[in-house]
Structure 1
Amino acid sequence: MSNVRQLRDKAPDSEKITINLGYVDLGRIDLLVQEGFYSNRSDFIRTAIRSQLNGHVDHVARTIERHTMELGLRDYTSADLEALRAAGEVLHVKVVGLARIASDVMPELARETIGSITVLGALQASAEIKAALADRIH
C-alpha cells in the first residue's frame, strides 16, 4: 500500500498573455527593475495595467451595469443547470473575469440550458462543452 496520494490539480488564477514592446520601452522597464522599483518585468507590467484600470474604474462599472454583466469569478455546476432546466429557463452568461463550467456538466445539459456566453476575460470549460456551445460563445 502506498502512502502517496494524488492531489487535485489547482486551477490557475490568472491568464498568461503575450505583448510586443519596443526595445527602448523594454530597456526602460529593465532599468526600473535593476534600480529596485519593481521585482521583475511582469511586476512592472501588472502595476502599469492596474494603474490604467484604476483610472477607468467608473467607466468600467457603468458599462458592466449597462450590459448587466457579472464581475469576478462565476462557476456554473451541473446542479445550477439542472435547476434552470427544471424551471424551463435559459441562461445567458455575461461575465467580466472568469467563467467556469464544472467538469460534471454534460454537453447535452449545457446546450439545453445555456443560450449564450459572453466572457471578457477567460472561459474555463472542457473541450466537449466548448464544442457543444461553439455557436453560442461570443
Structure 2
Amino acid sequence: MPQEPKHRIADSEKITINLGPVDLGQIDLLVQEGFYANRTDFIRTAIRNQLTRHEDAMRKTVERRAIELGVRRYSRADLETAKAAGTRLAIQVLGLAVIAEDVPPELAAETIASLEILGALQASPPVKAALRDRIR
C-alpha cells in the first residue's frame, strides 16, 4: 500500500514589520545588555505578552464565532464525504488549515464555500487559486 507523502508543516511564518529607529535602538540596547538573545527573541516575547494579556477576550471570541483553534487538516476523503452528502464547508480556523496535497482543485471548489483563516493556509497552488475568491 503506497504511503501518502509526508509534508512538513511550518512551525512559524515569516512576517515583516517596520520600526522607527528609536524603537529599534532600544531593542538593540536590551539585546546588548543580555535581556534578549536577539531582536527576534524580543519581538516574539513582546507578542506573546500581548497575546497573554488578551487571552480571555480571544477565547470568548473563538467560542462566539465557533472558530476551530489549532491545526485543522482536510483530506481528500473529508471533501469527498462532504460532496457525497451535498454539503459545502464554511472553514473557520485560527491557526493552520491544511488541505491535503492530493485534493484536486475541482473538488476543493465544489465542496468549500468559504475560508476564514486567521493564521496560515497550507494547500497546493492550484487549490489556493481555485479558492482565491472564497478566502477571507
TM-score by length of 2: 0.91
Give the gaps of 5 or more residues in structure 1. 1-6
Pairs within 5 Å for 1:127-138: 127-138=125-136
Q: Distance in 1 between matches of 2:60 and 2:73?
A: 23
Residue in 2 that maps onto 1:3 = none
Looking at structure 2, the residues matched to 86 and 105 of structure 1 have their Cα atoms a distance apart, in angstroms, of: 15
Structure 2 residues without counterparts, runs of 5 or longer: none
Match of 1:20 among 6, 18, 21: 18
CA distance in 2, matches of 1:118, 1:77: 18
Runs of 4 or more above 2 Å deviation:
7-11
Instruction: Spell out, residue by residue over 1:13-51, the C-alpha distance to the aligned partner (whole angstroms, 9 max, x if none).
Output: 111000011111111111111111111100000000000
The equivalent residue for 1:10 is 8
Q: Alignment partner of 2:73: what SS?
A: strand
Correspondence for 1:107 among 78, 83, 105: 105
Shift of 1:11: 3.2
Identity of aligned residues (%): 64
Structure 1 residue corresponding to 2:84, chosen from 69, 86, 94: 86
CA distance in 1, matches of 2:22, 2:32: 15
How many residues in Structure 1 have an aligned counterpart in Structure 2?
132
Distance 1:97 1:9 in 2: 17
Question: Following TM superposition, by how much is the alpha carbon of 1:8 offset from its aligned partner in structure 2, in angstroms?
Answer: 6.0
After TM superposition, give the deviation of residue 63 of structure 1 in Å. Answer: 0.8
Task: Please point out which of 45, 48, 56 is paired with 1:47.
Answer: 45
TM-score, with normalisation over the residues of structure 1? Answer: 0.90
Aligned-partner SS, 1:10 = coil
Q: What CA RMSD, in Å, does the superposition of the two structures yield over aligned residues?
A: 1.5
